[in-house]
Chains A and B, each alone.
Chain A
Amino acid sequence: EVQLVESGGGLVQPGRSLKLSCAASGFTFSNYGMHWIRQAPTKGLEWVASISPSGGSTYYRDSVKGRFTISRDNAKSTLYLQMDSLRSEDTATYYCATPFGVGHHWFAYWGQGTLVTVSS
């Protein structure tokens, strides 16, 4: 059974940093691209970043480019999102997600999410 468990969320002041983790199990992590998607309170879904299976290619939405870094440790089956220079508009529940097929680039399995609140 595919399991994705996010952690690392919390309350952080504007301008500070936070690092999210997503522990994966139940599939061969190193074979699949991974993604972060967020959802601001009472709002819709927004894709944030993606990373290739090897970690050699990364993709970001413009609003987080230069501030967020997606990375992975295939030996630990863990996905990360380093978030720097946080802004109030980054407040959201952050989900990690994975496809169900190699080479697929949509989100089949989602974690339960971790809440990031950026506020002074």
Chain B
Amino acid sequence: SAVISQKPSRDICQRGTSLTIQCQVDSQVTMMFWYRQQPRQSLTLIATANQGSEATYESGFVIDKFPISRPNLTFSTLTVSNMSPEDSSIYLCSVEVPRQGYYEQYFGPGTRLTVT
């Protein structure tokens, strides 16, 4: 398995500001993913971050709003830019680990963001 940590665990931010969320994993992984979970909603994939290349964004998510960095094989950041109350969500990172011919996906503990 993989042990994943996220910082901060939660934050309350004012609209118009930006927050950078960090994701650290205890082993080297190729693929990392960022998900958003709006209140009482399901998880939606924001983007896939492959080390050494630009992140790939899902429909409805753009780099200007959610810039992602992936400087090495154990770390990634997601920035939520120019925040509005609609950005209040749990943001989760996940990593992909090869397991017996399959790629298992493990999730971090999440970052609870409230925008006022």
**Do A and B make up one complex?**
no
